[in-house]
Structure 1
Amino acid sequence: MKRFYKIMGSVDFNMSQLEKVKNGKGFIAALDQSGGSTPKALKLYGVNEDQYNNEDEMFDLVHEMRTRIVTSPSFTGEHILGAILFEQTMDREVEGKYTADYLIEKDVVPFLKVDKGLADEENGVQLMKDMPELDALLDRANERNIFGTKMRSVVNSFNEEGIKAVVDQQFEVGKQILAKGLVPIIEPEVNINSADKKEIETLLNKEILAHLDDLSEGEEVMLKLTIPTEANLYEDLVNHPRVIRVVALSGGYSRDEANELLKKNNGILASFSRALTEGLSANQSDDEFNSDLKKSIESIYDASVNKN
């Protein structure tokens, strides 16, 4: 896997990041809320829609929130392997440095959300919208010292044609990302409220394994999956030679629920977003904020590395 950092200028540095993600202890922090999900994220943080007048002000506020998180004393490589950024976050600065460079200095590996949202539901699934500018975005990601990418689609109900289409699209885009020297996080989320959740996950596991088997030597991916109903269902994915790491999204579970479910799945780490920031508020003092974030990080770390 060939990647070169313009700032770090070292293949050895890139390999150390790969080693950290592949074998390190910790979890991936998801800080990648986009235009559609940002208002909800801000509201949970105590910032209502009447506190900003337009999209620019909204993104300024969410960047302030993310900056407060990543500059917190507990947000370091000791517990956190990587962080997934929104495109605007990648292009903004934290304490005078581009966000990815700031994270690298804290020993946190930077990833980038590259999808442009979800298409309308068809055959029980929501594919990713078309991404005609993906190559240009990946070039910018390389310039910004991003290590890998993430893209999300959703399965809402059991439909063989739909599930196959989701996995096909994910790996098609994944190969485009691999060709740019970045590590793709494949994310076919399963709706936790689906009546067919267990059945969906069984077929999803089969389809993902088939695509992994088709990858060539040197083509390695990560997987971000909903915590399965059947514990350790994804064991073959965790152990597959083409998989760097399997991480789990919280998917609407509370942090406590997600942590307990995660502990039942060997080899799978957290990649939580809403569950990570649960309980944090813009109205908290820095001491209160940092204390609550520290507790959140430590609980998610524990669920990621200590299994039942």
Structure 2
Amino acid sequence: MSKQLQAEKIGAGKGFIAALDQSGGSTPKALHLYGIEEDAYSSDEEMFDLIHEMRARIARAPSFTGDKIVGAILFEDTMDREIAGKPSANYLWSERGIVPFLKVDKGLAEPENGVRMMKPMPDLDALLSRAVQAGIFGTKMRSVIDAANPAGIKAIVDQQFEIGEQILAQGLMPILEPEVTISIPDKSEAEDILLAELLAHLDALPDDRQVMLKLTLPSKPNLYKPLVDHPRVLRVVALSGGYTRDEANEKLAQNTGVIASFSRGLTEGLSAQQSEAEFNATISEAIESIYAASVAG
């Protein structure tokens, strides 16, 4: 029953998806922004302890609830840990009314044809099985487009949908994330090619299949409206992609039906040195602004 409730919350709920899924490679940067330098830890284990403390602190904040946040994306290490004495995914859904997702990709391959595909995931089925056991609703996987290269973009979308099928087969909802780098000169052209590829793949899906899409905020407002309206798409969410929170919110509000799935945009301004009152006020302000931009469209 909760699966159906979760699908309804993600598909029609008002709010946004919090991305708490910084991986091993991006964790030092996330900790630095949080006010913890690399000399504060001497091993990966200590580093992951510190980032989990940050994520748990966010998840326990009074404003971090299903009233404004429909879902949260977790890193594998977070799924395997507890928040406030409960397994993380269980805590989010049972205590906060927030639908849990899991980041499943293993990082990016070397650049080819203007894109960075996902590295192979030989252990994906085992991870998906663990995710189902942990009460995870869906997954997220990221690849990156660095140029308006039709062959590269087709390969990226082919890979996302192929692995998406593997995820759907385990009863989980895949968030496909072909990110377009915001600083490239041909960003708008890349987005036009991406839209055509996504629509072609979506049109080919069986009627009983749905996916989610996580996309860079487009140069042309409402470019992705055909994806928002597509019957094979449960929800379109946007990444902040290096924009400041204010910039990302402004762009998001121009895209009807798209909601946020921000990582850095959510944690901007948070610090390990803040008191609980300061921390809770800062995260509350972030949540309010991202929520307002998500429901504005």
TM bucket (normalised to shorter chain) is over 0.9
Offset at residue 13 of structure 1 (A): 1.6
AA matched with 1:84: I
Matched, 1:54 2:43: yes
Where structure 1 has 5 or more consecutive residues not aligned to the other structure, the ranges are: 1-11
Q: 1:68 aligns with which of 54, 57, 60?
A: 57
1: CA distance between counterparts of 2:284 and 2:296? 18
The separation in 1 between residues aligned to 2:208 and 2:50, in whole angstroms, is 40
- Residue of structure 2 equivalent to 1:160: 150
1:270 aligns with 2:252: no
Shift of 1:304: 0.2
Matched, 1:42 2:39: no
For 1:5, the equivalent position in structure 2 comes to none
Where do 5+ consecutive residues of structure 2 fail to align? none
In structure 2, C-alpha distance between the alignment counterparts of 1:225 and 1:237, rounded to whole Å: 11
RMSD over aligned Cα, in angstroms? 0.4
Please give the alpha-carbon distance, in whole angstroms, between the structure 1 residues aligned to 2:73 and 2:52: 13
Amino acid at match of 1:43: H
> 2:103 matched to which residue of 1?
113
2:228 to 231, 234, 238: 238
- What code does the residue aligned with 1:184 have? P
Structure-2-length-normalised TM-score: 0.99
- How far apart in 2 are the matches of 1:126 and 1:138? 23
2:142 aligns to what SS in structure 1? Answer: strand
Residue-pair matches, total = 296
3-state DSSP class of the match of 1:267? Answer: coil
User: CA shift at 1:218, angstroms?
Assistant: 1.5
Separation in 2 of the partners of 1:239 and 1:77?
A: 24
**Aligned positions of 1:172-187 closer than 5 A:** 172-187=162-177
For 1:100, give the aligned amino acid: A
Q: 1:78-107 CA deviation, whole Å, 9 max, x = no partner?
A: 000000000000000011110000000210
Aligned ranges for residues 84-95 of structure 1 at < 5 Å?
84-95=73-84
* Structure-2 residue corresponding to 1:225: 215
Distance 1:300 1:97 in 2: 27
Residue of structure 2 aligned with 1:77, choices 43, 66, 82: 66
Name the aligned partner's letter for residue 268 of structure 1. V
SS of residue matched to 2:119: coil
Amino acid at match of 1:235: K
Q: How does 1:277-296 map to 2 (within 5 A)?
A: 277-296=267-286
CA distance in 1, matches of 2:186, 2:118: 21
Normalised by the size of structure 1, how large is the TM-score?
Answer: 0.96
Instruction: Give the Cα–Cα distance (whole angstroms) in 2 for the partners of residues 213 and 98 of structure 1.
Output: 38
- Which of residues 128, 139, 152 in structure 2 aligns to 1:138? 128
